[in-house]
A and B are shown apart, each in its own frame.
Chain A
């Protein structure tokens, strides 16, 4: 976690670099998991071992 006096930056995945190292398709299809409606993609786990 990076920190200045008034701003803490939480560590998150760099989406820009995932343009190159993402897209393998091994992750779960969103709707196949717990919900069958109103799903998003944010709660999916990345399963790319080469990233």
Chain B
């Protein structure tokens, strides 16, 4: 399978199964498009009509190059992954990452919160150290030979339970060496409680910090309000700046959500960059189609245009020495994920689980408010093995809609929770998300090509 597209002046051809990437001129691009459906004679005829100045020799030479790429398995290569075990990474029921819901409470009242203002449609609660400690022990016990273990302090607002976060990090550090493990912590925060103490803790111990900011003040304040209805932009931006300015190791992301109200989200990303932030992420809102801020079909072409615009502006800014990273355009062509990772996807319900304040296990944070998705607890482990099996059978090779999709080895079947919310089935597909994802990948690949050209 191949995917070919034109973007920003580049003719791009991706060979899906070999992961080969080609940049062509117009002639090669057109011949590749005809190659599998037409005979050699037909191709020569069609091309000669379109490019009257070209000789038969020019066309045959190009055809010959394409044939060589096909023989080298760099074009039209076959799918050789059908029989590769999709769950090699989690084989033996390995768990290697936990989303720790240290707080089912929040000090903001964001309208679009998937966690229902932090409490996940349940009781407000904070995780105790004992529950968190048991979760870390569960993780070590179930992680087999995997060394790097990830733990995200999540909520609600995790800084409402800062002391427990600190105690858990201290506990993890005290036992990681003896078990030959390396804990990587992430903090996902709305920023309201950031102070010098938090900055010091986050920058010392957090491998990654995710800071929620939606962009321009009026955009951010429209949906991210405190309990009195006041926008939070003015409170959090100086705190984020101080935290980022003092960050000497690890990554951070300024992470925003865009909605129907800011389909021109490129302006919000540029606003983040103009504030001095360099590591940025912006995602489409996940909500019911009935919500007034939900993205709709009419928004879609606007969003696709925005992604292209963003990519072009990023290149301009890079040339001007003012570049920034956009999470969804990060793609490592040479050292990206192996095929096993690409087949297994996000790992939810298998190697990645969410833990509630009371120690209950769920496939991921997005399923926590749905008791039907309870998987067990941190004391007894995963007891709902049928559910785990369902998630094992949820990947790009089990989804009918993914069968002929060129992006399947980039998205790996997509987000199970998005699929569930859109179709009622984790093995469904959230088509709107697929369209946006594919556009992001097209832009990400184009950026790599443009950068390689600049480097040459």
| Given A41-B412, A43-B332, A29 and B352 contact (CB-CB distance below 8 Å) | yes
Q: Are B96 and A29 in contact (CB under 8 A)?
A: yes
| Given A4-B65, A6-B25, A9-B69, A29 and B97 contact (CB-CB distance below 8 Å) | yes
Q: Are A12 and B333 in contact (CB under 8 A)?
A: yes
B44 within 8 A of A: no
Q: Are B327 and A37 in contact (CB under 8 A)?
A: no
Specify which chain A residues have a CB less than 8 angstroms from the CB of B65 in the assembled complex.
4-7
Q: Are B346 and A31 in contact (CB under 8 A)?
A: yes
B342 within 8 A of A: yes
| Given A30-B345, A31-B348, A13 and B333 contact (CB-CB distance below 8 Å) | yes
Specify which chain B residues have a CB less than 8 angstroms from the CB of A44 in the assembled complex.
336-337, 341
| Given A9-B20, A29-B347, A37 and B336 contact (CB-CB distance below 8 Å) | no
| Given A41-B410, A42-B444, A15 and B339 contact (CB-CB distance below 8 Å) | yes
Q: Are A25 and B61 in contact (CB under 8 A)?
A: no
Specify which chain A residues have a CB less than 8 angstroms from the CB of B19 in the assembled complex.
12-15
A42 to B334, CA, bound (A): 11
Q: Are B336 and A22 in contact (CB under 8 A)?
A: no
Chain B positions 418 through 453: 1 when the CB is less than 8 Å from some CB of chain A, otherwise 0: 100000000000000100110011001000110010
Pick from B62, B80, B147, B148: contact of A16, CB under 8 Å: B80
> Per DSSP, are chain A's interface residues mostly helix, strand or loop, or mixed?
loop
Interface size on B, residues (CB 8 A): 91
Residue of A nearest to B416 (CB): A31
Q: What's the least CB distance linking B237 to chain A, in Å?
A: 18
Q: Are A29 and B150 in contact (CB under 8 A)?
A: yes
Residue of B nearest to A44 (CB): B337
Q: Are B27 and A6 in contact (CB under 8 A)?
A: yes
A37 to B346, CA, bound (A): 10
B60 within 8 A of A: no
Specify which chain B residues have a CB less than 8 angstroms from the CB of A5 in the assembled complex.
61-62, 65
Q: Are A38 and B437 in contact (CB under 8 A)?
A: yes
Q: Are A10 and B412 in contact (CB under 8 A)?
A: no
Q: What's the least CB distance linking A14 to chain B, in Å?
A: 7
| Given A13-B335, A23-B89, A43-B330, A30 and B346 contact (CB-CB distance below 8 Å) | yes
A42 to B24, CA, bound (A): 23
| Given A7-B65, A12-B20, A46-B335, A18 and B330 contact (CB-CB distance below 8 Å) | no
Q: Are B444 and A43 in contact (CB under 8 A)?
A: yes
B190 within 8 A of A: no
Pick from B99, B436, B441: contact of A42, CB under 8 Å: B441
A28 to B333, CA, bound (A): 17
B392 within 8 A of A: no
Specify which chain A residues have a CB less than 8 angstroms from the CB of B334 in the assembled complex.
11-13
Specify which chain A residues have a CB less than 8 angstroms from the CB of B18 in the assembled complex.
14-16
Q: A30-B412, A31-B415, A38-B433 are in contact. List 12 more A-B contacts (CB 8 A).
A: A9-B20, A9-B22, A10-B22, A10-B452, A13-B19, A13-B333, A25-B89, A25-B351, A36-B366, A41-B346, A43-B329, A45-B337
19 A-B pairs with CB atoms under 8 Å apart are: A5-B62, A7-B25, A10-B23, A21-B338, A22-B341, A24-B146, A26-B148, A29-B346, A31-B415, A32-B99, A35-B328, A38-B437, A40-B410, A40-B437, A40-B440, A41-B346, A42-B410, A43-B336, A46-B332
- Which are the 7 A-B pairs with shortest beta-carbon distances? A22-B338, A23-B340, A18-B338, A34-B253, A29-B97, A23-B88, A42-B410
